[in-house]
Every structure is written in structure tokens, then in C-alpha cells.
């Protein structure tokens, strides 16, 4: 077990050294364009090119991003599908806030509500820049952003400059029109390299096409040992009551007794396990009742915010590995209230490209999020990536009507369009009843 963890630590160290070497200076600002020529490419613009570690800003300066992202996290948690779950709220927040930077009008206002972005837009972007500096200040966490843009499309230089300066997001000119599949493979390869192969295929086959104009990518990689590792010799098979069942399933459970940050709520115990270096910790919210998670989830934000004081704790917990965990963002985000940006007829992303370039209108065609987490006696490895795919609906072309004659028995469904939920389903054999 240790050898595998240490190998990944060495691989991360090598990646960080290479990233620092490639990040010798910021890319040049794009110049204003007289015609839709591609913006100049920055040097070495790869998704794996993380910012060099820098001193973290004071905690007080990070509060705005944390408050917004954590509120958004609870909304996503509540709307996510049932079952095992892992996702990165920080990755989602950064990717969609970068997209918000190019939104205008009602589309921008709607996105801000869902993302809990309050106050001046410039302040929100500055807060994101500060949190990125803090994230990348240590040796256990790396977060990067990259823009992959259609090289023949005229993006607004101000939009590209904002994302470069505030989000450390270089612009990578690519040819979606020429070979979208090759660009999909390239983006997936960059994300896989950065996440140590934990997110191998963020963009599924067919997700990009000739109308793709921009893919905004965020990737996160975390690798840390516990401050106090669990002794593997203390790991024993013991019942784990999966899904709150009365009968337990024998699983290897880790155990140690030590002083941890501890708090209690009406229905749960809250324990915080620090990682080596003290910069990060894992918070466990454990219901008192075996079937009490659903009740605890309704107060999860309060439980997470409860002040934890040092106290001796006899802690038993399982190992776990979740991989390939995806969120259905195209359904989930509209269900949370972010609808316009996904609607080709309503989206206003003119902040990405002023006016209509060649009759094109931009909208978010799709969005993808995948996460991985592995927890064992030594520590935690976690990775996540988010991609927001911006496409053009294309110039309007006359299309011959399709003939549909519902003059014979047919099936029907009443659908909640925001989420795709079928509310009613049936068939009509005789409309007379």
C-alpha cells in the first residue's frame, strides 16, 4: 500500500517540477482584433501547467469565494442522484464562474444566483484569483484552468485577458472545425496527465463537434498523508451497515484513538482528521442512528460549520475508493436554476465574443464533471475535473418541415423540461375515451 502511495507522491513532485519550469512567465495579452483572427497563443499552454507555488493570501481575503462555493456545494449535494457521491465544488465553481465571466444580461444574473455570486463582478473574479494562489501555495494540492478555443473564432480579447489574469487560464488555439475528435483526445490527455491518470476521459466520445467554439477546463489534484496515519495492523474486518441496514456487511475498518477536532449536533458526531502539514483536513459527519444520514443531510451545512474542539476520539472508519464518479450537469444545473445559458435561443454569452460573429450565437451545449477519491491508512488521493463546452447554434438555415400525423395510436409523456423528469407517461388508442 505504501509503495503505491509513495510512487504517486514522487510522480506528483515530478509533475510540479515540470509545471514550475513551464510557468516561467505569464502569456502575453491578446491584442485587439480588426477581424476574427485567432488570438495569439501563450507559451506552453497545457492544462498541466499549474501556477508556481506562492505565498497564500490571508484567510480573510479568501472568504468570498469560500462562502459562495460552499453554498453552491450544498445545493449540488442536495440535487445529486442518490447513492455514493463524490464531486469537487471548487472545480465546479471555478469552471462555471469562468463561464459567467462571458455571460451578460439575464443569463449572467441567473448564473450568479445559482453560483451564489454577490456584489461586484470584478471583486468576485479577484477573489477567485486569490483562492487559486492559496490552493497552489502548498505541495499537496494543485488546481489549474485552461481555455481551449476554436482558432478561427474571434473571442473578445478582454474576456481572454480576464480569465488569464484572474484564473491563470491560458488560451490554447485548437481546430474544432477541422478535427473535433482529435481535440477531444488532446484535452482528455492533458487532464489525465495532470490528475495522474485518475480522470482519464473527462469528455465522452461525441461531446465535441464542428460547432464547438470553447471548452473551459478546470482540473484539481490532491495527494496528502494523514498527520497521524492509521496502523494497518489495527485494521480489522467488522460490520459496516450499508444504506442504514440492520444487518452489517463485514468490511476492513481502520481504527485509531487520538485527539481530533470534535463536535456534536443533535443527530451527528463531527470529527476532523488533519493531513500532514495542517493545511487540509477531512471532516466526517457521522449520524448517531444507523439510518440517520438523510436527516443529518438536511443540516449538513450547519454540521460542517460547527466549531470543532480537540478531544480524544476512538475513531473507526472504512477505506474507500470511488472512481469514475460523474455528475449529470446538463440536468442538474438547470434544476438548480441555471437554465438560460444552456438554451441556444436564450443564452447571452456576448461577453465572450461581442455581437454576432457570422450569425453565430453561443450557448453552453454541455458540461462534464468527474471525480475520484481514495482513502486508506496512509492518507487521501483525490482528483476532479470540470469541462464546460460552449458551442455555436450556427447560422439559421431553412429546414424543410418534418411531417408528423398523430392520426393513429401514439404514446405521450409530460416532461419537466428543466430536469428531463417524466411526470406522466401514457398512450392514446382512441381520443374519444
pLDDT higher than 50, residue 220: yes
Say what the pLDDT of residue 221 is. Answer: 93
For domain 2-225+322-392, the question of CATH label 3.40.50.150 is answered with no
Element containing residue 93 per DSSP (H, E): helix 89-100
Q: Between 55 and 393, name the one with better pLDDT.
A: 393
With 0-12 CB in 10 A as exposed, 13-18 as middle and 19+ as buried, what is 227?
middle
- Which residues are 150's β-sheet partners? 174
User: What are the two backbone dihedrals, phi and then psi, of residue 172, each rounded to the nearest 5 degrees?
Assistant: -115, 110
The answer to whether 367 touches 338, Cβ cutoff 8 Å, is no
CA neighbours within 13 Å on the CB side: how many for 383? 18
pLDDT higher than 90, residue 97: yes
The answer to whether 349 touches 104, Cβ cutoff 8 Å, is yes
Question: From CA 203, how far away is CA 385, in angstroms rounded?
Answer: 10
Grid-cell match 463524490, residue found: 86
Say what the pLDDT of residue 204 is. Answer: 96
The answer to whether 341 touches 349, Cβ cutoff 8 Å, is yes
Element containing residue 106 per DSSP (H, E): helix 105-115
Question: What are the structural domain ranges in the chain?
Answer: 2-225+322-392, 236-318
| Whole-prediction pTM | 0.82
The answer to whether 305 touches 67, Cβ cutoff 8 Å, is no
- 236-318 CATH choice from 2.30.39.10, 1.20.120.790, 3.60.15.10, 2.40.160.40: 2.30.39.10
Question: From CA 363, how far away is CA 86, in angstroms rounded?
Answer: 27
C-alpha angle 285-286-289 in degrees, rounded to nearest 5: 140
The answer to whether 317 touches 254, Cβ cutoff 8 Å, is yes
Question: From CA 268, how far away is CA 284, in angstroms rounded?
Answer: 10
Q: Per mean pLDDT, which range of 198-202, 249-253, 356-360 is the poorest?
A: 356-360
**What is the b/e burial string over 296-313, where b = at least 16 CB atoms within 10 angstroms of the residue's CB?**
bbeebeebbebebeeeeb
pLDDT digits (tens, 9 = 90+) for 327-386: 999 999 999 999 999 999 899 999 999 765 545 789 999 999 998 888 899 998 989 999
What grid cell was written down for 96?
A: 462555471
Question: From CA 34, how far away is CA 165, in angstroms rounded?
Answer: 23
Amino acid at each position: 500500500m505504501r509503495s503505491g502511495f509513495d510512487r504517486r507522491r514522487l510522480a506528483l513532485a515530478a509533475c510540479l517540477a515540470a509545471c514550475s519550469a513551464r510557468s516561467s512567465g505569464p502569456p502575453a495579452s491578446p491584442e485587439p482584433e480588426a477581424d476574427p483572427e485567432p488570438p495569439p497563443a501563450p507559451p506552453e499552454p497545457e492544462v498541466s501547467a499549474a501556477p508556481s507555488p506562492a505565498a497564500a493570501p490571508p484567510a480573510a481575503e479568501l472568504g468570498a469565494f469560500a462562502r459562495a462555493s460552499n453554498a453552491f456545494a450544498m445545493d449540488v449535494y442536495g440535487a445529486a442522484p442518490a447513492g455514493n457521491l463524490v464531486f469537487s465544488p471548487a472545480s465546479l465553481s471555478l469552471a462555471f464562474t469562468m463561464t459567467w465571466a462571458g455571460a451578460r444580461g439575464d443569463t449572467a444574473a441567473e448564473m450568479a444566483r445559482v453560483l451564489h455570486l454577490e456584489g461586484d463582478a470584478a471583486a468576485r473574479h479577484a477573489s477567485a484569483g486569490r483562492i487559486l494562489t492559496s490552493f497552489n501555495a502548498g505541495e499537496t494540492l494543485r488546481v489549474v484552468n485552461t481555455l481551449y478555443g476554436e482558432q478561427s473564432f474571434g473571442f473578445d480579447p478582454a474576456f481572454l485577458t480576464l480569465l488569464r489574469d484572474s484564473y491563470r487560464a491560458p488560451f490554447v488555439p485548437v481546430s474544432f472545425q477541422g478535427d473535433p475528435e482529435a481535440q477531444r483526445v488532446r484535452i482528455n490527455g492533458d487532464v489525465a496527465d495532470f490528475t495522474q491518470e485518475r480522470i482519464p476521459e473527462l469528455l465522452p466520445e461525441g461531446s465535441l463537434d464542428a460547432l464547438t467554439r470553447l471548452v473551459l477546463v478546470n482540473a484539481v489534484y490532491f495527494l496528502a498523508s494523514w498527520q497521524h496515519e492509521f496502523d494497518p495492523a489495527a485494521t480489522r474486518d467488522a460490520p459496516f451497515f450499508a444504506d442504514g441496514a440492520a444487518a452489517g456487511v463485514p468490511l476492513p475498518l481502520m481504527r485509531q484513538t487520538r485527539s481530533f477536532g470534535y463536535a456534536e449536533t443533535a443527530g451527528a458526531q463531527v470529527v476532523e482528521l488533519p493531513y500532514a502539514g495542517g493545511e487540509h483536513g477531512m471532516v466526517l459527519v457521522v449520524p448517531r442512528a444507523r439510518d440517520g444520514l438523510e436527516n443529518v443531510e438536511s443540516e449538513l451545512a450547519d454540521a460542517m460549520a460547527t466549531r470543532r474542539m480537540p478531544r480524544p476520539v476512538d475513531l473507526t472508519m472504512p477505506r474507500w475508493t470511488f472512481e469514475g464518479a460523474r455528475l449529470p450537469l446538463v440536468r442538474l444545473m438547470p434544476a438548480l436554476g441555471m437554465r438560460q445559458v444552456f438554451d441556444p435561443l436564450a443564452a447571452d454569452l456576448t461577453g465572450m465574443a461581442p455581437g454576432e460573429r457570422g450569425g453565430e450565437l453561443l450557448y453552453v451545449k454541455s458540461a462534464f464533471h468527474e471525480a475520484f477519491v481514495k482513502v486508506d491508512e496512509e492518507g487521501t488521493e483525490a482528483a476532479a475535473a470540470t469541462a464546460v463546452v460552449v458551442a455555436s447554434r450556427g447560422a439559421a438555415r431553412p429546414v424543410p418541415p418534418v411531417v408528423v400525423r398523430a392520426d393513429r395510436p401514439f404514446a405521450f409523456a409530460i416532461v419537466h423540461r428543466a430536469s428531463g423528469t417524466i411526470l406522466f407517461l401514457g398512450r392514446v388508442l382512441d381520443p374519444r375515451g
